Each structure stands twice: as C-alpha cells, then as structure tokens.
Amino acid sequence: MTPVQASIKLAPSILAADMGRLAEAVEQVDAAGADRIHIDVMDGHFVPNITFGPIVVKWLRSTTRLPFEVHLMIDRPERYLEAFALAGADSLIVHQEGAVHLNRTIQAIHALGKKAGVAINPATPASVLEEVVPDLELILVMTVNPGFGGQEFIPGTLAKIGRVRRMIDQARPECELEVDGGVDPETAPAVVAAGAGVLVAGSAVFGAPGGAAAGMDRIRASLAARR
Ligand code: DX5
Ligand code: ZN
C-alpha cells in the first residue's frame, strides 16, 4: 500500500448492514480495518426515510473502539446534538440545508467536545461553506440525494468535490473531505482523484459478495489500481 492509499479512510455505513445484526456488522468492519463507523440518522422529515436514534448509538458503543460519526439527516439537528454526544458519537455531521443557524450549531457541537462536520446535498453549491470552513473538522459532500442507501453516484458532484478541496486547502487544510453515496470500486478512484480523503460506503461494503471485508478490500484495490 502506498502512503496515499493508506491515507484514504474508509467509513462503512451501517445503513446497508443487516439491521438485526448491527453489532456483528460493526465488529466485522472493525476487524477488516475500517477507520470509523458512519451512522445515518434520518427523521422522516428532512429525508423520507427513518432510521436510528441515540439509543442505537448507545447500544453499539461497546462493540468497538472505532470513532462513530453520526450523519444527521434531520430537521433542526441542534435539538439532538447532546443526545447523540451522550450516546457515544465522536463527530456530529449536520446538513447545511437543515441547520438555519449553522454557526451556532457548529459552536454547540464543539461545546460538547465533539468534532463538527457539515454536509451538503448534490444541489447545494460549495460556496455556502465559505464562512464555516475555518471552524470545521469535516465537510461531507453528498454524491447522492440523502435518504436511502444503494443509489447511483451522481457524476456532476465530482467537480464540486474539487471546489471543496480547494476551499479546504486554503482555509483549513486539516479539515477532512468526505464523500457519501454510491461509492464503490468503480467510483472510488474518481472521488479520490477529485480530492476526497474519506469514503463512506454502505452497499459496496455490506452488500458485497463475500461479505464486508471483501467489499472493503475491493474498494482499496480499486484505489491501488489507479496508481
Ligand atoms: C444516504 C446515506 C449514506 C448511505 C450510503 O442518505 O447518507 O451514508 O448509507 O449508501 P451507499 O454507499 O449504498 O450509497
Ligand atoms: Zn451518510
């Protein structure tokens, strides 16, 4: 593995795991070398789907030492920051589109001692992040419309990943750039080439023939082949 590949982080999304065996799923990707666990929280308002609440995070917390990143696809996420922080989240990612007072929300996440991330939907321009990049530990570029796993990657988001990369390099180089949606062995090399450093993958990990470890290996191999 070259240093560049080694530095690309994988964040399996447990949305695509067997919901009856979530703890096992977390243990599997931990053993396979995942860098963090991506937990998709949906409220049936901001997105049509409904998934996990803080109690699920709490019960999974004892299964691994890997960081938990909680992707809040919910309206007014400020209402639930503390609950997810107490449940065991290490970073809290809110959507720019769902957080009206974004600066205050980022401050609230930091006051809880957690890393702050902001996500943007495919139709949201990178420029909305300009004022907040210096305060962020992570930016999440959605490469599908949020709400469901297993959707097709939207190629038009690649140019935006590049724009966000340039904003980060200028304003806060240590801020991570993550992409989420439709990431698989076909699309992973392109998002990395565009500037992503952290890849969320649900179906390509938990839906992979041969299991989650094989799915993660295939993504890593696709990045290695690109070089
Ligand atoms: C989509 C979620 C994603 C989802 C990705 O709304 O934010 O994290 O799990 O799933 P895949 O990798 O299957 O596109
Ligand atoms: Zn997500």
Question: For 63-92, how does the pLDDT look when each residue is reduced to its tens digit (9 = 90+)?
Answer: 999 999 999 999 999 999 999 999 999 999
CA of 39 to the centre of ligand 2 (A): 7
Under a CB-based contact definition with an 8 Å cutoff, are residues 95 and 123 in contact? no
Best residue among 97, 148, 153 to mutate for probing ligand 1, ranked by most atoms within 8 Å of CB: 148
CA of 128 to the centre of ligand 1 (A): 22
CATH code for the domain of 96: 3.20.20.70
Best residue among 40, 138, 206, 219 to mutate for probing ligand 1, ranked by most atoms within 8 Å of CB: 40
Q: Look at the chain and report how many structural domains it folds into.
A: 1
Give me the sheet containing 138-142, strands edge to edge: 9-12, 198-201, 176-180, 138-142, 115-120, 91-95, 68-73, 37-42
Range of the domain at 140: 3-225
pLDDT at position 227 is 64
Banded model confidence at residue 226, pLDDT cuts 50, 70, 90: confident
Question: For 30-63, how does the pLDDT look when each residue is reduced to its tens digit (9 = 90+)?
Answer: 999 999 999 999 999 999 999 999 999 999 999 9
Q: Give nearest CA residue, ligand 1 atom 4.
A: 149
pLDDT at position 98 is 94
Banded model confidence at residue 5, pLDDT cuts 50, 70, 90: low
Question: For 93-113, how does the pLDDT look when each residue is reduced to its tens digit (9 = 90+)?
Answer: 999 999 999 999 999 999 999
CA of 177 to the centre of ligand 2 (A): 13
